[in-house]
Amino acid sequence: MAIHTDILLESGTNELEVVMFTVAGETFGINVLKVREIIQPIPITPIPKSHPNVSGVIRLREEVIPVIDLSKVLNLPPSENSKQDKFIVSELNQTLVAFHVHDVSRIHRLSWKQIEKPNEFSAGTEAYAIGIIKLDEEMAILLDFEKILVEINPESGVNVDKLKVLGPRERSEKHLIVAEDSAVLRKMLEDTLTGAGYENVQFFENGQLAWDYLSNLSEEKEDPTEHIQLIITDIEMPQMDGHHLTSRIKTNPKLSAIPVVIFSSLITDDLYHKGNRVGASAQVSKPQIVDLVKEIDRLIL
């Protein structure tokens, strides 16, 4: 089953479409924008000394793709009916990967308002959650596939050491706003931006909280651009996503001049147009942290 992302949602509506699937009878979801296609399992070639959650690799149309067994990641029982199993072939953090799941049900169209942030101290399957999806008939977990991938391959994540190529810097007078729901990534970005000389950074754990702050600032200050020089936002966040946040900023007369950089694993050639439509000043794919800092420099220095 191929996923045609060009016919999905308009940008900036604060909606998403989620492919629902099960592992050991529990229901999970993945953003359609991360899904290239869903296929029946094909033969896997084992890789010696690979991560225990990696079953091996498959060859799909001349591409070699690692297969991650989500039952192992989530510490759930293996499949009881392999005939129903599926591989969800995904692209994230500029990496192709196939996730082995036990069944795929349907696609739901949701608002990010229907997704609640999980407890930061959650254990088990919720430790890998972006959010908890509230549906009429059930609840499901929207999984953090980037976290799963980075645990297996740390090089696919943000690497602060890469900033050393930029040399010593001083940017502390610039005030930046960051909207990022992952506590781990917020800490990484704090270390990264501080290392790049940007020490005056304010973090928000979702787009709604960032918007509340920015909206109040626009009402209280004659010129908010004197107080904030740039905004960085992820895309996938509970309550309000980064595209919707960017759209609101760019349609607010007092805030529209503030540059907005989207920093997300969802920045691909096929999806770049979504950020353009909402007026993003730049879009950088995780984990290209040096490119992120260069874009910040370009926009505010």
| Tens-digit pLDDT profile for residues 162-179 | 555 555 556 668 899 999
The residues, ordered by sequence, that sit 6+ positions from 4 with a Cβ below 8 Å of its Cβ are none
User: How many C-alpha atoms does 131 have within 13 Å on its Cβ side?
Assistant: 25
* Rounded (10°) angle between helices 289-300 and 183-195: 60
Structure confidence at residue 168 (pLDDT): 56
Residue ranges of the chain that CATH labels 2.40.50.180: 5-154
Residue-wise pLDDT for 40-84, tens only, equals: 999 999 999 899 999 999 999 889 999 999 999 999 999 988 888
CB 129 within 8 A of CB 141: yes
Domain 158-300, classified CATH 3.40.50.2300, yes or no: yes
The winner for highest mean pLDDT among 120-129, 253-262, 269-278 is: 253-262
CATH of 5-154, one of 3.40.50.20, 2.40.50.180, 3.30.390.10, 1.10.1740.10: 2.40.50.180
Whether the pTM exceeds 0.85: the reply is no
pLDDT of residue 130 exceeding 60, the answer is yes
Nearest-angstrom CA–CA distance, 224 and 239: 24
Confidence of residue 128 (pLDDT cuts 50, 70, 90): confident
267 and 275 Cβ atoms separated by less than 8 Å: yes
3-state secondary structure at position 83: helix
Domain with CATH 3.40.50.2300 in the chain: 158-300
pLDDT at 26: 92
Peptide bond before residue 287 is cis, with ω within 30 degrees of 0? yes
- Tell me the backbone φ, ψ of residue 110, rounded to 5 degrees: -130, 165
**pLDDT in the model for residue 256:** 94
Q: Percent of the chain, pLDDT > 90? A: 49
Helix (H) or strand (E) holding 50: none
